[in-house]
Amino acid sequence: MFRSDENIDRYGYLPQRPTASNPDGLPVGMVRDEYRGRAYMGFTCAACHTTQIHYQETAIRIDGGPANSDMEAFMADLAKALNATLRHAEKRQRFVDAVLVYGDYQHADAVLSDLEKYVQRLKTYTIINTPRDTQRPLTRYGYARLDAFGRIYNRVLEHIMSERQLRELLAETLAPDELTRAMEGVAPVLSNRDRDHLIERTQSYLTDRQIIRLRNKIYNPADAPVSYPFLWDVPQHDYVQWNGRVDNSGLGPMARNAGQVIGVFATLDWQERDGFTLASVLGGQGFGAKHIDFQSSIDIRNLRRVEHHLRRLTSPLWPEHILPKLDKARMVRGKELFEQYCIVCHERIGRTAPDRRVVAKMMAVDSVGTDAKMAANSSTYQGYSGILHNRYVCTGSGDILLQRQAPAVALLTAATRNVVTTPDSDKWIMRRWIERSLDFAYTYFDNEVQSSLKTGDYVPDTTVNPFASVMAYKARPLNGIWATAPYLHNGSVPTLYDLLLPKKQPDDPEDGEYRPDEFVVGSREFDPSKVGFKSTGCDGFLFQTGIWGNHNTGHEYAAGRTPMTDGTYLPALTKEQRLDLLEYLKSL
């Protein structure tokens, strides 16, 4: 079965035995929940933010560490498995019989109806997020990476697309009579049912090439995968995400978590209603004759609890009772090197101090020299505004009007704002507003992070370019860094030792030590000498650094090739010095 422990482990997820709180024996980070009386299975935070390392027959589970999973392949193969079940008579009957036993469905037709619906939705999700570019190689994710922003943007673009804008786009390809049939009965704000029917209808009119062209007009390539960020100290950061895009002060944690659940994979029941409501006014829709009701399965109360729980998470210490003991002499020498090469960007904090704070230390992409695709995508991606057309979105440099096409980051901001201001419709009206008001108040007043300016070397936002600052990457404290391989924001360097080496250039001698241009990811076997996972002589995904999005250049301070913030170059470390610094990094 697709959900067998062997198959789940193959995708890098962590199987679990059934327990009282997990009677289905679902893997770490997968959960059964209910929405409007129906049971669903989905991801939780732990699916992407739990890691496990293996060393000499011992497994070490690390809460909040970056997952070693391959979600791209998992979702694509799940779509194929469901499609095979639908198309193969014997599989289909076996599936229907097994589902009916549970009692959630009364008739086989209802099972088949939902099977067809989710086969179509997962297939669509895969098509939307699998870019096809004949001009350059695809940036496949492999293990331990995901383009979360790209996929969240696309999911928002899918659900805000209006009937009017979609009609205009389809008119460029379909004949008038085909367009009329395709759009028959479709509401101005597309419901999930409208979306399903439109996909079914247009597939009968469009060739595969035309479908791809339509996809490319509406969506952006989700082709800038990054390592899953580790979660310790996140509630103490003033800005989060690799490029410091998200302000973590005030109500920031609520919006941040809601935006992520939109991506994986909240049910979004966004519909047009008459009049206005308090929620629509708070969401920025004004007092018009109609408003968009942004109902969803997102549980704001649980997200608040998760964020509060996360405050107690601290970085893992190097387990000397399992891994080789630390060399104290090397640590002393390594600390001196850390003070010289690292601390200007990576401040040292008390890992358990209740008053610890982390101010974003931003480094412009041009200065640090690392792969720019993730930052560039977040800065330049656009999308059709659809049901958000003519709304205003606040940025750090002023409000912007969402015109026919608008920055994807602004569209996500507007959609998320409306989601969090929309209380649960399945509760009594007084209860829903009391609970949501308490959630807002608790999140705001309990959050000790206040608005502050970023520090470091970056281009600030302006009214001309309100998203200029995202063309930078954040340097954070390195406590627990030993448990977060692979390294750099895009996971392009397999070990900490390799990170201290230079990227090989054409005129470099062949007998030097350099970062690997290719390596395998997917193994959980830990290498304590280089600090990372085994990346040669094992099965997995071949990571190729020659592809844009996978570049392993930049951050070559220890190799004497990247200038410090004052423009000076420090001398390249010798091998012994690299080992000294590495030993100190293990201890953080």
pLDDT single digits (tens) 470-507: 999 999 999 999 999 999 999 999 999 999 999 999 99
pLDDT of res. 276: 92
CB 12 within 8 A of CB 67: yes
Helix (H) or strand (E) holding 63: strand 58-63
Rounded CA-CA distance 306/297 in Å is: 16
User: Exposure string (b/e) for 541-557, b if CB count within 10 Å is 16 or more?
Assistant: bebebebebbbbbbbbb
Task: Please report which confidence band the pLDDT of residue 341 belongs to, taking 50, 70 and 90 as the band edges.
Answer: very high
User: Exposure string (b/e) for 129-150, b if CB count within 10 Å is 16 or more?
Assistant: bbbeeeeeeebbbbbbbbbbbb
pLDDT of res. 132: 62
Angstrom CA distances, 33 to 29, 30, 262, 339, 419, stand at 12, 10, 16, 48, 19
Given a cut of 80, whether residue 5 has pLDDT beyond it is yes
Given a cut of 90, whether residue 130 has pLDDT beyond it is no
Rounded CA-CA distance 302/491 in Å is: 30
Q: Which amino acid is at 377?
A: N
Neighbours of 246 (CB within 10 A): 17
pLDDT of res. 202: 87
Task: Please report which confidence band the pLDDT of residue 18 belongs to, taking 50, 70 and 90 as the band edges.
Answer: very high
Given a cut of 90, whether residue 248 has pLDDT beyond it is yes
Rounded mean pLDDT of 20-31? 94
Helix (H, G, I), strand (E, B) or coil at 519: strand
Q: Give the percent of the chain with pLDDT over 70.
A: 99
Cα dihedral 342, 346, 351, 353, rounded to 10, equals 120
CB 532 within 8 A of CB 558: no
Rounded CA-CA distance 56/433 in Å is: 54
Backbone angles phi, psi at 325, to 5 degrees: -65, 150
Given a cut of 90, whether residue 372 has pLDDT beyond it is yes
Judge if the upstream peptide bond of residue 265 is cis by omega within 30 degrees of 0: yes
pLDDT of res. 398: 87
Given a cut of 70, whether residue 135 has pLDDT beyond it is no
pLDDT of res. 432: 86
Judge if the upstream peptide bond of residue 486 is cis by omega within 30 degrees of 0: yes
First to last CA, the chain: 42
pLDDT of res. 137: 64
Task: Please report which confidence band the pLDDT of residue 133 belongs to, taking 50, 70 and 90 as the band edges.
Answer: low
Q: What is the mean pLDDT of the chain?
A: 93
Q: pLDDT tens, 412-453?
A: 999 999 999 999 887 788 888 888 899 899 898 888 899 888
Q: Which residue has the tokens 């090989």?
A: 504
Task: Please report which confidence band the pLDDT of residue 238 belongs to, taking 50, 70 and 90 as the band edges.
Answer: very high
Rounded mean pLDDT of 291-301? 93
Using left for φ > 0, alpha for ψ between -120 and 50, and beta otherwise, residue 522 falls in: left
Q: pLDDT tens, 250-295?
A: 989 999 999 999 988 899 999 999 999 999 999 999 999 999 999 9
Given a cut of 60, whether residue 534 has pLDDT beyond it is yes
pLDDT of res. 253: 92
- Paired with 290 in beta bridges are 274
Rounded mean pLDDT of 373-394? 94
Rounded mean pLDDT of 48-64? 97
Rounded mean pLDDT of 43-50? 95
- Paired with 364 in beta bridges are 472
**Residue 364 tokens, joined:** 């412009």
pTM of the entire predicted model = 0.94
Rounded mean pLDDT of 169-183? 91
Q: What is the CB-side half-sphere exposure of residue 92 using CA atoms within 13 A?
A: 15
Rounded mean pLDDT of 535-549? 94
pLDDT of res. 136: 60
Rounded mean pLDDT of 319-333? 98
CB 494 within 8 A of CB 500: no
Closest to 347 (Cα-Cα) out of 336, 334, 337, 360:
360
Give the β-pairing of 405-407 and 518-521: unpaired
Given a cut of 90, whether residue 382 has pLDDT beyond it is yes
Rounded CA-CA distance 142/522 in Å is: 8
Q: Which residue has the tokens 């200038």?
A: 563
pLDDT of res. 408: 96
Helix (H) or strand (E) holding 541: strand 541-544
